[in-house]
Amino acid sequence: MRNWIRINFLLVVLCVAPINLIAQTSWTIEQEQIVATIDRLSATTAPDGNGADDYGMLLDEAFSRWTVGSDLVSYKRDWVDGIRDWFDDGWRVSERKTDYVAIDIVDNFAFTRRNVSETYLGPDGDSSTSKAAVAEVWKKSGNSWLLLVANVHPITD
């Protein structure tokens, strides 16, 4: 419970603290580790990706995902099962563009803010696109980072 209070406090501090108005352009070694982990997570859903099991290995056991405006919060097992079903149905992320806004590290937690555009390719050649602003909390586990919380805000054109 104390860790959740601390995480919520840090989220509030990061939201109200002065931030750069221009996206960050250079990264520390720890920030680069997080970017590399995000790249590995993304690669699992690409056409040649390894799918849900590899995706799940990059999520903390307490992982949760929420889409802004939704009443549903997905936790690790259900989210990974959904990724597995999506992958088994033949869907893949064929294109992805990520624009990083900021990566803030406080103790063993990292807070990312990024804008993501994705194109999904279906089994019958169908495609769709989505854009979203994503705010994440990453937790350091040993020498690696695991995704703890993902909040997704869809962007419509």
At residue 14's C-alpha, the angle toward residues 141 and 79, to 5°, is 50
Q: Extract the tokens encoding 92.
A: 């893949």
* Largest Cα span, the chain: 48
In single-letter form, the type of residue at position 105 comes to I
Q: How confident is the model at residue 18 (pLDDT cuts 50, 70, 90)?
A: very low
> How far from 108 is each of 8, 20, 39, CA to CA, in Å?
14, 22, 20
Q: Which residues lie below 8 Å from residue 115, measured CB to CB, with a gap of 6+? A: 98, 99, 101, 131, 132, 133, 134, 155
What confidence tier does 5 reach under pLDDT thresholds 50, 70, 90?
A: very low
Supply the pLDDT for residue 157: 75
Tens-place pLDDT, residues 96-147: 999 999 999 999 999 999 999 999 999 999 999 999 999 999 999 999 999 9
pTM comes to 0.84
| Residue 3's pLDDT band (cuts 50, 70, 90) | low
Give me the DSSP letters along 12-32.
HHHHHS---SS------HHHH
Domains belonging to the chain, first-starting first, are 30-154 (3.10.450.50)
pLDDT at residue 19, rounded to an integer? 38
CB 92 within 8 A of CB 49: yes
- Which DSSP state fits 71? S
3-class SS at 91? Answer: coil
Q: Are 78 and 3 in contact (CB under 8 A)?
A: no
